[in-house]
Structure 1
Amino acid sequence: MGFPGTWMTESESMVYRVVPKCACSTIGQIMFYSDHGRFFDGDIHDATEGLYKWAQEGSHEPISRNVQGHHSYAFTCVRNPYTRILSSFFDKICGIQRNGSRYRGNLVPKLTYTYGIEVGGEDGKQEFDQIKSFRRFLLFARDTIRWRRPMDPDIHWSAMSGHVSTFIVNGGRYDHIFWTEKFNEGMQVVLDAVKTPHSVDLATIPRFNESEGHGPKRAHPVEDYFDDLSMHLVYEIYKRDFELFKYDPFDPSNKMPVGEIDLDEVHAKLGN
C-alpha cells in the first residue's frame, strides 16, 4: 500500500501526511518555500515538481526509504470534525471547483435527486436553505462511510484517523500532530525541529485557502447546522477523531481542542 497522501521536501527536511481540509494547502506551500525560497505559483496540489509526493511514481522510493527508516521529522495536522465536514459541504458539494466544474462530475445532480440537497443553483451563488441541505448531506456522508453506498467515502469527508493511520500501519511514525485551530503554534514546533535551506517566518506566511470562494458563504454559526440528530451522526462517523485528537463532540460551537494529543495513544490505536 505504501504511503498514500504523503509529501516530503526534496531536501528531506520533513515528511507530512496530508489530511484533506486541514490546512494542507498552507502546509504544502510552507514545505515548498522552505526548500526553494519561493511559493509554488498556483495550487500546491497541482505541483508536479519541487516536492516529493506519493501520488507521483518517482517519489515512491525516496519517501519509502525515508519514512521506513524514520530519517526525517514526520508530522500531520488535524481539525475539529464539525468544522471539517461543514467545510467539505460548502467547498466540494456547493462549490464550483478550480477546473470550472462541479466536484466529481455527476455527484451533485445525484445528491439533488436522491437526498434532496440544494446547492445554490448552477453557480452556487443563489439563496438556499443551507441548514436543511447540510443535514441531508450529512446523511449521505454517513451512508458512504458506514455502508459505502451510493459510493465509497470521499477523502474530504472520510475520517481523519483513517488518513493518519495508513502512515503508521505501513511503517511510519509521527513526531508531531497539531491542530489547524492552533496552526502557528503547531507548525512552529515542526520548523524548530528541522533544518531547512530557507528559513520560514510563520508571521508573514499567507494562508493558502484554495477552497475559499468556491462556494456560497456560510450564513450561520457552526452550531446552528447541528441539531441533536446531526450531532449524533457526526459522533457516529468521527468518534475516533474526537477521542484521539481531543475535540469536544458535545459542543459544535467549541472548535478548540479540549486536551493534549497523546502520540503513543495515536500510534497504539491506529497501528493495528
Structure 2
Amino acid sequence: MGFPGIWMTESESMVYRVVPKCACSTIGQIMYYSDHGAFFDGDIHDAESGLHKWAQEASQGPISRNVTEHRSYAFTCVRNPYARILSSFFDKICGMQRNGKRYRGNLVPMLVANYGVEVGGEDGKQDFDQIRSFRRFLLFARDTIRWRKPMDPDIHWSSMSGHIGTFIRNGGTYDDIFWTERFDDGMAKVLAATRTPKPVDLKAIPRFNESEGHGPKRAHPVQAYFDDLSMHLVYEIYKRDFELFKYDVQDPSNKMPVGEIDLDEVHAKLGD
C-alpha cells in the first residue's frame, strides 16, 4: 500500500502525514519554505515540484526508503473533531471550490435531494438554516463512514486516526503528533528537532487557510450546531480520535485538548 498522504521535504529534513482540515496548507508551505526560502506560489496541494509527495510517482522511492529506515523526523497534526467536521461542511459542502464548481460534482445535489441539506443556493451566498443543514449532513457523513453508503467516506471527514494509522501499519513511526489548537508550540518543536536548509521564523509565517472564503461564514459558535443526537453521532464516528488525541467529547465549546497524546498508545492501537 505504501505511504499515501505523505509529504517530505526534498532535503529529507522532515516527513509529514497529511490529515485534511488540520492546518495541512500551512504545514506544507512551511516545509516548502524550509527548503527553498520562499513559499509556493499558489495552493501547496497543487505543487508538483519542490516537495516530495506520495501521489507523485517519482517521490515514492525516496519516501519509502526514508520512512522504512526512519531517517527523518516524522510528524502529523490533529484537530478537535467537532470543529473539523464543521469546517468540512462549510468548505466542501456549502462552498464553491477553486475551480468555481461544487465539490465532487453531483455530491451536493445528491445531499440536497436525499438528505434535505441546504447550501445557500447556487452560489452559496443565500441565507439558510445552517444548524439544521449541518445536522442533516452529519447523518450523511455517519452513513458514509459506518456503512460506506451512499458512497465511501471522503478524506475531509473520514477519521483522523484512519489517516494517521496507514503510516504506522505500513512501517512508519511518528516522532510527534501535535494539535492544530496549539499549532505554534507543535510546529516549533518539529523545527527544533530538524535541520532545515533555510531558517524558518515561525512568528513571521502567515496562516495558509486555502478553504477560507469558499463558503458562507459560520453564523453560530461551534457548540450551537451540536445537540444531544449530533454529539452522539460525532462520538460514534470519531470515538478513536477523541480518545487517542485527547479531546473533550462532552463539551463541543471546548476546542482544546484535555490530556497529553501518548505516542506509544497511538502506535499500539493504530498499528494493528
Q: TM-score range by the shorter chain?
A: over 0.9
Aligned twin of 1:24: 24
The separation in 2 between residues aligned to 1:125 and 1:178, in whole angstroms, is 35
Could you tell me the TM-score, scaled by structure 1's length?
A: 1.00
The separation in 1 between residues aligned to 2:74 and 2:44, in whole angstroms, is 19
- What are the ranges of 5 or more consecutive residues in structure 2 without an aligned counterpart? none
| Structure 1 residue 192: Cα displacement | 0.1
Amino acid at match of 1:96: M
Please state whether the residue corresponding to 2:162 is helix, strand or coil: helix
Q: Does 1:271 align with 2:271?
A: yes
The separation in 1 between residues aligned to 2:101 and 2:41, in whole angstroms, is 21
Could you tell me the TM-score, scaled by structure 2's length?
A: 1.00
| Structure 1 residue 33: Cα displacement | 0.1
Aligned twin of 2:151: 151
Aligned twin of 2:261: 261
Aligned twin of 2:126: 126
- What are the ranges of 5 or more consecutive residues in structure 1 without an aligned counterpart? none
Please state whether the residue corresponding to 1:177 is helix, strand or coil: strand
The separation in 1 between residues aligned to 2:58 and 2:150, in whole angstroms, is 34
The separation in 2 between residues aligned to 1:172 and 1:238, in whole angstroms, is 23
What does the per-residue CA deviation read over 1:195-230, in whole Å, with 9 as the maximum and x for residues that have no partner? 001011110100000000000000000000000000
The separation in 1 between residues aligned to 2:92 and 2:36, in whole angstroms, is 31
User: How well do the aligned residues superpose, as a CA RMSD in angstroms?
Assistant: 0.3
Aligned twin of 2:87: 87
Q: Does 1:12 align with 2:41?
A: no
What is the aligned residue count? 272
Kindly report structure 1 stretches of 4+ aligned residues shifted beyond 6 Å.
none
| Structure 1 residue 113: Cα displacement | 0.1
The separation in 2 between residues aligned to 1:126 and 1:199, in whole angstroms, is 45
| Structure 1 residue 116: Cα displacement | 0.2
Please state whether the residue corresponding to 1:74 is helix, strand or coil: strand
| Structure 1 residue 67: Cα displacement | 0.2
Amino acid at match of 1:172: G
Aligned twin of 2:203: 203
The separation in 1 between residues aligned to 2:192 and 2:122, in whole angstroms, is 46
| Structure 1 residue 92: Cα displacement | 0.1
Aligned twin of 1:3: 3
| Structure 1 residue 115: Cα displacement | 0.1
Aligned twin of 2:73: 73
| Structure 1 residue 20: Cα displacement | 0.2
| Structure 1 residue 256: Cα displacement | 0.2
Taking every aligned residue pair, what percent have the same amino acid on both sides? 83
Aligned twin of 2:173: 173
Please state whether the residue corresponding to 2:154 is helix, strand or coil: coil
Task: Map 1:246-257 onto structure 2 (within 5 A).
Answer: 246-257=246-257
Please state whether the residue corresponding to 1:131 is helix, strand or coil: helix
Please state whether the residue corresponding to 1:16 is helix, strand or coil: strand
| Structure 1 residue 174: Cα displacement | 0.1
Q: Does 1:135 align with 2:135?
A: yes
Please state whether the residue corresponding to 1:249 is helix, strand or coil: coil
Aligned twin of 1:228: 228
